[in-house]
Amino acid sequence: MAKLTSQITNTLVNDFEFGYGNNAIITTLAGTGAAGLSPADYISQLNALIPTAWPSSLKQTGAFINGGANWGGLQPYGNGQTMWNIAPYGNHEDLYSIQDNISKVYGNHLFKVGGYYSTNAKVEDNNGGTDQPTFNTGNGGLNSCPAGSPPSCAPGVPTGNSLANLLIPGQVFVSNENSINALDRRIWHDIEFYFGDTWKIHRNVTLSLGARWSFYREPYSETNAQASFSLAAYDPTRPASDACNGVVIVPNTTPCQDAATALENLGVSLPLSNGIPGVNRALVANNNHNIAPRVGIAWDVRGDGKNSGSYRRWTILPTRNRGNWSDPFGNRAIRYQCPRRADITVGDATCKPVRFAKRGQRSSTHCP
């Protein structure tokens, strides 16, 4: 923080302040493994063995399968600790603020007036590898050939032991995959003005009056990649597959049409409605009526500055929710099952997907 105080006259003083705050959590993969392999070498081999179902152009670079996921520690071996990874991961916040305060002594009054402005950003992605295929090595993660599976579907072989399940050649797991690792770039601004008067109405009585007018702008996504849901906008006559039914979107954006086009390019036909434009980028109306009055009185009983009493009353403005919105197409989960055959490993490129989609599960893949 930097502050500049200027005494303009004997009764007029100006204070200007600039503030900057930052906090960050940044993790990367490092170290050297067996045979001198680097993290990049491991990632390349893992991703080649278990390729993604969604195009690699959508994926976070440097991440690998089950990154950020919980493998369960391959119990009952070891001490039960989980096996997981969060890298690569980024999370930082930048807060910039400026304020200017003017103080003026006029007779038995001390007037103060000032303004404050801040611009702030919160940038955070999910755990590294959130957009990679993930699977559970326990019995619950094995393929069970649910209803609707093709005749060629082969179930996994449950052993009751996570490590044994993992070591069986051609074991069949159920895998889930998000299309992207969503990056949230949350932006918000605060603007405030205030006026105050410290009035010495008697040699031992001081009255304080003032008010603050705050314009707390609702946070929004810098990339407009956010949406909400409104029950009032929901049309029960629409098909259940319409994931945009009742969805409130940022004005002048077309996420529903963009999602339908992207799915169409992947061979998935999913007609979607357009969504309902919200009131602004934040999808929440800004409140321009946050006025907080302040009043106080101080009484020096004996006039010696040692025995005094005071009473003050003011209003504390409510805090804001910095963003509970989501992009309904930021995480497109898929599920696929591979056959239990010794010549096809989990995620083998010869495992050709046949996709279908329904509400709540963007697409599914069954291997022939």
**pLDDT computed for residue 323 by the predictor:** 47
Structure tokens at 16: 């200007």
The pTM assigned to this predicted structure is 0.70
**pLDDT computed for residue 308 by the predictor:** 60
The reply to whether 234 falls in a domain is no
**pLDDT computed for residue 350 by the predictor:** 35
The reply to whether 262 falls in a domain is no
The reply to whether 319 falls in a domain is no
The reply to whether 195 falls in a domain is no
What are 149-155's contacts with CB under 8 Å, separation 24+? 149/337, 149/366, 150/354, 150/366, 150/368, 152/339, 152/368, 153/337, 153/339, 153/366, 154/339, 154/340, 154/341, 155/340
List, for residues 233-258, the tens digit of each pLDDT value.
899 999 888 989 999 999 999 999 98
**pLDDT computed for residue 147 by the predictor:** 81
The ranges of the chain with pLDDT < 70 are 65-85, 127-128, 304-368
The reply to whether 35 falls in a domain is yes
Assign 5 to helix, strand or coil: strand
List, for residues 252-288, the tens digit of each pLDDT value.
999 999 888 888 887 888 888 999 999 999 999 999 9
As for how many domains the chain has, the answer is 1
The reply to whether 277 falls in a domain is no
Structural domain of residue 362, as residue ranges?
Answer: 2-182+330-366
* CB neighbour list of residue 134: distance below 8 Å, 6 or more residues apart: 65, 66, 69, 175, 176, 177
The reply to whether 260 falls in a domain is no
**pLDDT computed for residue 113 by the predictor:** 97
The reply to whether 295 falls in a domain is no
